[in-house]
C-alpha cells in the first residue's frame, strides 16, 4: 500500500512527519503543496483535505491531516517493535503530552 505525504519542506509540521517516517524507515512519496502559492486551496487538494492544511497523509484509501495525528498513525502502523509508541498506557500518555506541548504551552507563551 503506497504512502503519500502532501506538504512542503519549509513546514515544521511536515518535517516532523518526515523525520518520523525516516526513523521508521517508511518510504513515502512527497507531494509538494505550497500554501503560500495557493496550492492548498486548489480543488484537487481540497478534495483530499477540505481543511486545506498541511501535512496530509494518504495511506491507501485512508487520509489523515494534522502532523501529530499522522506521527501517531505512522508509529502505530509501522513500528511493530512499539519502541516509539509503546502499548503501556501511561508511557503512551506521556508521549502524547510531549507531542502536544508546543501547541498548548510553548506557542501560547511565545505569542503573548
- The pLDDT score that the predictor gives to residue 67 is 94
Q: What does the DSSP assignment read for 50-75? A: TT--S-EEEETTEEEESHHHHHHHHH
- The class (CATH top level) of 3-85 is alpha beta
Residues forming beta bridges with residue 63, ordered by sequence position: 58
Which of 2, 11, 67, 81 is labelled catalytic? 11
Domain positions in the chain are: 3-85
40 CB contacts (<8 Å, ≥6 apart)?
33, 46, 49, 52, 53, 54
78 CB contacts (<8 Å, ≥6 apart)?
24, 26
pLDDT tens sequence across 14-68:
999 999 999 999 999 999 999 999 999 999 999 999 999 999 999 999 999 999 9
User: Is pLDDT above 80 for 112?
Assistant: no
11 is an active site residue = yes
pLDDT tens sequence across 60-111:
999 999 999 999 999 999 999 988 888 899 998 998 888 887 776 666 666 6
Residue 24 cell numbers, joined: 521508521
Amino acid at each position: 500500500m503506497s504512502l503519500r505525504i502532501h506538504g512542503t519542506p519549509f513546514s515544521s509540521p511536515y518535517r516532523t512527519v518526515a523525520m518520523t517516517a525516516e526513523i521508521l524507515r517508511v518510504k513515502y512519496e512527497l507531494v509538494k503543496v505550497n500554501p503560500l502559492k495557493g496550492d492548498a486551496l486548489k480543488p484537487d487538494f481540497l478534495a483530499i483535505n477540505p481543511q486545506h492544511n498541511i501535512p496530509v497523509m494518504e495511506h491507501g484509501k485512508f487520509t489523515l491531516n494534522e502532523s501529530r495525528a499522522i506521527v501517531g498513525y505512522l508509529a502505530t502502523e509501522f513500528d511493530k517493535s512499539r519502541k516509539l509508541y509503546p502499548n503501556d498506557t501511561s508511557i503512551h500518555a506521556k508521549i502524547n503530552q510531549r507531542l502536544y506541548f508546543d501547541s498548548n504551552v510553548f506557542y501560547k507563551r511565545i505569542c503573548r
